[in-house]
């Protein structure tokens, strides 16, 4: 047969078939993983890179409180910078005159506001302390004392679940 | 081949599960779960610092035999002592204990936990422990000591941990 007489054979169109089974497998794995990680109360705490929380067997959830964050370099109340931390010392925090510190003033303002709103003499608010695990008790003690002086003797120490 | 057999084979070939609606459900569930997922679980340990208390309220409560354990975390060891309103100092002295640091410089928290269990079994009403760390003790060690003091497995030992600085 001469080549000129050959008719080009039209390829039959085969509609592409999506491999649903493998996609289903993938989605099932993702779904199971997410279900295990599911939390009714997702963490709303802004975690910074420079903070390393200690691990603990504690099971209690934190409550909505004043959030105090002590990293290696800074001290913050509710994400507002209060003081710098240099070599474990909180700058501007004099143990001899704690009432002059910004930390005391901020907590005192907060305390006055809470008392005004709740009509309680002693609000039962906690301070949620997120502290880097490498800090010494010397640094923590100063902050804790000032907070107690400002009217907040109760704390919740944030830890990572073991 | 009979017509009946042929018909049955055709119906078997056609049975294919329609995955599309299941996929749609998955696509809805996954974004929802992604918004609710938490990759780190933050928990808290409740504690307090010593404050001036109103003694009038305390005196009205019925007295129970309670011990308050004091644990001092020092550079070289841990010293345990006790205090109680209803017990003589001589009786309290028998509970005093010194735990030497382990070879790696770690605090002997297992030993502390075991000793606290024995105190708790003698005075089950006791629930308060005052932790007095040295200034050099790091926060991680304090948390570990609090864990050892608060519970043994799932049973509470001294759930009220008060954190205090040393005097002088």
Confidence (pLDDT) at B87: 82
Residue pair B98/B78 in contact (Cβ under 8 Å)? The answer is yes
Distance CA A57, CA B18 (A): 46
Which of residues B17 and B12 earns the better pLDDT score? Answer: B17
CB contact under 8 A, A159 and B134: no
* CB-neighbour burial class of residue B22 (10 A; exposed 0-12, middle 13-18, buried 19+): middle
The answer to ipTM > 0.90 is no
Helix (H) or strand (E) holding B137: none
The 10s digit of each residue's pLDDT in B25-62 is: 988 999 988 888 877 778 888 888 877 665 555 555 55
Q: HSE of A141 in the Cβ direction (CA atoms, 13 Å)?
A: 19
162 residues of chain A, pLDDT tens digit each: 555 566 666 778 887 777 788 888 999 999 999 888 877 665 656 666 778 899 998 888 888 788 899 998 899 998 888 899 998 888 888 878 888 889 999 999 888 888 887 766 666 778 999 999 999 999 999 999 999 888 888 999 999 887
Q: Which residues is B72 bridged to in the sheet?
A: B79, B132
Instruction: Give me the phi and psi of B121, to 5 degrees please.
Output: -70, -30
| Chain A hits for B48, Cβ within 8 Å | 153-155
Highest mean pLDDT of the ranges A129-138, B97-106, B147-156: A129-138
* DSSP H stretches of helix in chain B: 3-14, 20-36, 55-60, 89-93, 109-122, 139-150
Confidence (pLDDT) at A43: 60
Determine the distance in angstroms separating the CA of A46 from the nearest CA of chain B, rounded to an integer: 12
Helix (H) or strand (E) holding B61: none
Residue pair B40/A160 in contact (Cβ under 8 Å)? The answer is yes
Instruction: Give me the phi and psi of A38, to 5 degrees please.
Output: -65, 135
Helix, strand, or coil here: B122?
Answer: helix
B33 → closest Cβ in A38, A40, A59 = A38
> Which of B143, B149, B162, B168 is best to mutate for the A interface (most A CBs within 10 A)?
B143
């Amino acid at each position: 047969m001469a080549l000129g007489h050959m008719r080009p054979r039209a390829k039959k169109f085969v509609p592409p078939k999506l491999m649903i089974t493998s996609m289903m497998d993938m989605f099932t794995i993702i779904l199971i993983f997410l279900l295990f990680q599911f939390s009714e109360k997702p963490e709303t705490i802004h975690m910074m890179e420079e903070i390393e929380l200690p691990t603990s067997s504690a099971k209690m959830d934190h409550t909505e409180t004043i959030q105090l964050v002590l990293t290696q370099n800074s001290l913050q109340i509710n994400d507002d910078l209060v003081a710098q931390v240099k070599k474990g010392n909180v700058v501007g925090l004099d143990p001899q005159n704690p009432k002059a510190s910004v930390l005391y003033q901020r907590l005192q303002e907060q305390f006055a506001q809470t008392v005004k709103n709740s009509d309680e003499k002693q609000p039962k608010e906690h301070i949620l302390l997120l502290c880097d695990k490498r800090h010494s008790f010397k640094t923590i003690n100063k902050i804790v004392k000032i907070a107690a002086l400002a009217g907040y003797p109760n704390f919740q120490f944030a830890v990572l679940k073991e | 081949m009979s017509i009946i057999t042929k018909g049955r084979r055709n119906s078997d070939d056609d049975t294919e599960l329609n995955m599309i609606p299941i996929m749609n459900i998955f696509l809805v569930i996954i974004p929802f779960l992604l918004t609710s997922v938490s990759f780190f679980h933050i928990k808290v340990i409740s504690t307090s610092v010593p404050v001036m208390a109103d003694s009038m309220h305390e005196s009205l409560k019925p007295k129970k035999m309670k011990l308050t354990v004091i644990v001092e975390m020092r550079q070289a060891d841990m010293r345990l002592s006790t205090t109680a309103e209803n017990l003589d100092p001589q009786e309290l002295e028998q509970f005093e204990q010194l735990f030497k640091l382990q070879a790696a410089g770690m605090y002997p928290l297992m030993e502390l936990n075991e000793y606290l269990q024995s105190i708790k079994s003698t005075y089950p009403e006791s629930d308060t422990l005052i932790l007095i760390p040295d200034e050099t003790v790091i926060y991680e060690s304090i948390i570990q000591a609090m864990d050892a003091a608060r519970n043994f497995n799932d049973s509470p030992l001294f759930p009220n941990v008060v954190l205090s600085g040393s005097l002088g």
